[in-house]
Amino acid sequence: YYTVLVEPKLRVVSLNTNIVVSGTMFSVLNNPDMGGQLAWLEDVLAQSEALGQKVWIIGHATSKYGWISPQVERFLSLCTRYKDTVAGQFFGHIHTDQFNVISDVNTSEPIGVAYS
């Protein structure tokens, strides 16, 4: 996982989402923080918010398809907390063009879109 500032106010964050897809050999490991990625993501989002940067999150598998429970819940909580900072989510894995509405974990109101 890594991040890069592509423009003064736009940061891209790449996550290794393969390790949280249900049924993979990685998902059977007791790894509630995706190898430290979620704590790191929270730090990056907090810094980006403070600097007025928008963030695009990219990864292989979207949180709507097969992520194991503790990780998806924490990820969606971060998306809720930083809904004004996360400007887009872009994933692959499903081999079709579609989008998923990301909802606020507290109110169920739409807060973003994840494109696949």
Query: What is the average pLDDT value for the chain, to the nearest integer?
Result: 87
Closest CA to 103 of 95, 113, 114, 111: 111
Q: How confident is the model at residue 68 (pLDDT cuts 50, 70, 90)?
A: low
pLDDT tens, position by position, 29-66:
566 676 788 999 999 999 999 999 999 999 987 776 66
Alpha-carbon distance of 63 to 21, in angstroms, equals 9
Chain position carrying tokens 């979620």 = 38
Alpha-carbon distance of 45 to 81, in angstroms, equals 9
pTM of the model: 0.88
pLDDT greater than 70 at residue 28: no
Domains for the chain: give ranges and CATH numbers: 2-115 (3.60.21.10)
What residues have CB less than 8 Å from 64, skipping those under 6 apart?
Answer: 100, 114
Residue bearing the bigger pLDDT, 81 or 23: 81
